[in-house]
A = this chain, B = another copy of it.
Amino acid sequence: MAIEHAAPGQVIDVQPLAGKLSEARTAALFKTDALEVMRLIVPAHKTVPSHQVIGEVTVQCLEGEVDFTADGQTQRLKAGQLLWLEGGVAHGLTAVQDASLLVTITLRK
């Protein structure tokens, strides 16, 4: 079932999915001309290949752990940790454990 984008002011749950994480799928939460927010689901050992976007990005680990690589440097990102990147910086990740991440992307026309 496709998940509808959240309307402005609509409360969105981003609690850890815990036992439901293994069945969850990546979902766009909302998108405007300037901002896109998604919940990324990454099963253990899966990789999101290196890529880049034009604007700034924040990546917040909601649960699990990932090895996050940006600009050739890899570091562990655990539940409750956040990092941000300038636009145009190549980044990717590999899940160490089943993980979900809140990803916020600044869009520019």
Question: Which of A19-27, A42-50, A70-78 is the interface stretch?
Answer: A70-78
Contact (Cβ within 8 A) B108 A71: no
Chain B contacts of A79 at CB under 8 A?
A: 15
Chain B: which residue is nearest A89 at the CB level? B8
Contact (Cβ within 8 A) B56 A35: yes
- How many copies make up the complex? 2
A86-B32 in contact given A37-B58, A58-B37, A106-B106 (Cβ < 8 Å): yes
A81 CA to B70 CA in the complex, in Å?
Answer: 28
A13 CA to B77 CA in the complex, in Å?
Answer: 10
A10-B56 in contact given A35-B106, A106-B106 (Cβ < 8 Å): no
A9-B83, A34-B34 given; name 4 further pairs at CB < 8 Å.
A6-B84, A12-B84, A13-B82, A14-B60
